[in-house]
């Protein structure tokens, strides 16, 4: 009797722990990296498809209704298709359409995606990258602790990120940087080991233009830095070249430092949106601020009142004509 009972228990245990005969199939609804175990590289299939493997790093995906959508930067995985530069967090409309609810990319700083933002979305192309200039809904902040781990996933990746000229950021962002306005804080490009410059781009002489030089995460980089003086929080002075900026003198627009992988370059403070009234260009081109040599047209009569307001908006003490005028008054 005992033998029979033991046999039954053994058979039951064998059946319970027997491997499942049917292989596991995983549905993807976007292009995605292929795990190293399965050959590595990147899968370019841009419709719903099936593989017999799970994502290599779940931090780079959104998962809903049994489908995986890759929300990361495809560049480190050998992606060689068309790509578009973005800066900071933004909505991912394509994923939103697939899943039926808002999906956001939480990658800090400059990064690439294979898709262009839709025309109707609140994106602005500036400084060589798309910036999201719309308002983030509450769900963005609610999900941020969960999904911002994607930055940890990319921290060890060595690849060339896009170089974005922060000096020509959209005014709504730039004004907040220069004024320390509501809702935004500017951080330095910080974190990671000390770096050295490979090919620092020279400061452009004229109006800001996009500089097509890449940076390397975790390695030698040349990261563009905001031009407007003052009001920058540079992560407690861990930044190379920062002392020049803090102790007077005109800061270089390209401050050398590691890629923005540890702290956000721009952080949208919860519940705030910078008012449009305080918007101004972060670094107006000299030719725009210089006085026009020709006489003002008759309909520009109220113009002299405008400079009187400018010093309040502009934290930079202008030593040019505006400053002189202020003293005369």
Partner 1 sequence: MRTLFLVIALPLLVALPSCRKKQPVPPPASVHVPGTPHTDEVLTAFRNAGLTPDGFAAVKPIPAHATYCEHGKVNAIDTTLCEYRDDQALDKAVQEIKAGWARIDAHTGVVVRAKRTLLAVVDRERREPSGKTINQMLNVFSGL
Does 52 participate in binding partner 1 (rule CB under 8 A)? yes
Could you say which of 15, 19, 50, 312 contacts partner 1 (CB under 8 A)? 50
Per-residue burial over 133-149, b if 16 or more Cβ lie within 10 Å, else e, is: beebeeebeeeeeebbe
| Burial classification of residue 318, based on how many CB atoms lie within 10 Å of its CB (0-12 exposed, 13-18 middle, 19 or more buried) | middle
Q: Smallest distance from the beta carbon of 34 to partner 1, in angstroms?
A: 5
Does 38 participate in binding partner 1 (rule CB under 8 A)? yes
What is the spatial distance between Cα 258 and Cα 193, in angstroms, rounded to a whole number? 8
Residues 67-106 contacting partner 1, CB under 8 A:
none
Does 42 participate in binding partner 1 (rule CB under 8 A)? yes
Q: Smallest distance from the beta carbon of 46 to partner 1, in angstroms?
A: 6
Does 34 participate in binding partner 1 (rule CB under 8 A)? yes
Does 56 participate in binding partner 1 (rule CB under 8 A)? no
Token pair belonging to 121: 């979305």
What is the spatial distance between Cα 52 and Cα 26, in angstroms, rounded to a whole number? 6
Binding-site residue total for partner 1 (CB under 8 A)? 20
Q: Smallest distance from the beta carbon of 63 to partner 1, in angstroms?
A: 18
Q: Smallest distance from the beta carbon of 21 to partner 1, in angstroms?
A: 9
Does 23 participate in binding partner 1 (rule CB under 8 A)? yes
Place of tokens 């260009």: 281
Q: Smallest distance from the beta carbon of 39 to partner 1, in angstroms?
A: 4
Question: How many CB atoms lie under 10 A from the CB of residue 53?
Answer: 15
Please answer whether residues 281 and 252 qualify as being in contact, where contact means their C-beta atoms are separated by less than 8 angstroms.
no
Token pair belonging to 185: 């804080």
The full DSSP string for 10-61 is: HHHHHHHTSPPSSPP-EEESS-EEPPGGGT-SEE---SSEEESS--S-GGGE
Question: How many CB atoms lie under 10 A from the CB of residue 191?
Answer: 18
What is the spatial distance between Cα 128 and Cα 194, in angstroms, rounded to a whole number? 26
Does 4 participate in binding partner 1 (rule CB under 8 A)? no
Judged by beta carbon, residue 22 or residue 142, the one nearer partner 1 is 22
Q: Smallest distance from the beta carbon of 24 to partner 1, in angstroms?
A: 8
What is the spatial distance between Cα 281 and Cα 177, in angstroms, rounded to a whole number? 10
What is the spatial distance between Cα 301 and Cα 274, in angstroms, rounded to a whole number? 30
Does 54 participate in binding partner 1 (rule CB under 8 A)? no
Q: Which stretch binds partner 1 (CB under 8 A): 41-49, 154-162, 174-182, 318-326?
A: 41-49
Judged by beta carbon, residue 82 or residue 202, the one nearer partner 1 is 82
Q: Which stretch binds partner 1 (CB under 8 A): 34-42, 132-140, 253-261, 288-296?
A: 34-42
- Helices 321-328 and 305-313 pack at an angle, to 10 degrees, of 110
Residues 230-269 contacting partner 1, CB under 8 A:
none
Q: Which stretch binds partner 1 (CB under 8 A): 39-47, 57-65, 67-75, 183-191?
A: 39-47
Does 47 participate in binding partner 1 (rule CB under 8 A)? yes
Does 45 participate in binding partner 1 (rule CB under 8 A)? yes
Please answer whether residues 55 and 40 qualify as being in contact, where contact means their C-beta atoms are separated by less than 8 angstroms.
no
Give me the residues that bind partner 1 (CB under 8 A), please.
22-25, 34, 38-52
């Amino acid at each position: 009797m005992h033998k029979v009972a033991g046999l039954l228990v053994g058979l039951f245990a064998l059946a319970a722990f027997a491997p499942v005969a049917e292989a596991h199939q995983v549905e993807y609804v976007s292009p995605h990296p292929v795990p190293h175990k399965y050959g590595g590289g990147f899968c370019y299939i841009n419709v719903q498809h099936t593989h017999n493997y799970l994502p290599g790093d779940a931090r780079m995906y959104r998962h809903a209704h049994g489908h995986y959508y890759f929300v990361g930067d495809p560049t480190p995985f050998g992606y060689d298709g068309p790509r578009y530069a973005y800066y900071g967090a933004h909505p991912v409309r394509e994923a939103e359409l697939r899943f039926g609810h808002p999906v956001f990319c939480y990658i800090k700083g400059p990064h690439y995606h294979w898709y262009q933002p839709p025309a109707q979305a609140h994106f602005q192309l500036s400084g060589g990258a798309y910036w999201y200039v719309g308002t983030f809904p509450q769900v963005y902040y609610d999900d941020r602790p969960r999904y911002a781990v994607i930055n940890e996933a990319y921290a060890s990746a060595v690849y060339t990120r896009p170089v974005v000229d922060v000096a020509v950021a959209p005014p709504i962002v730039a004004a907040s940087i220069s004024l320390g306005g509501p809702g935004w804080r500017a951080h330095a490009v910080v974190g990671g080991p000390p770096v050295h410059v490979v090919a620092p781009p020279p400061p452009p002489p004229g109006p800001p233009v996009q500089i097509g030089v890449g940076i390397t995460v975790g390695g030698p980089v040349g990261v563009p830095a905001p031009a407007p003086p003052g009001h920058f929080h540079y992560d407690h002075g861990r930044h190379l070249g920062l002392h020049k900026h803090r102790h007077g003198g005109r800061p270089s627009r390209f401050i050398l430092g590691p890629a923005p992988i540890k702290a956000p370059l721009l952080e949208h403070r919860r519940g705030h949106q910078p008012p449009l009234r305080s918007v101004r260009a972060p670094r107006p081109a000299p030719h725009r601020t210089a006085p026009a040599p020709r006489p003002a047209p008759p309909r520009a009569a109220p113009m002299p009142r405008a400079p009187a307001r400018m010093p309040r908006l502009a934290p930079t003490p202008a030593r040019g004509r505006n400053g002189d005028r202020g003293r005369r008054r």
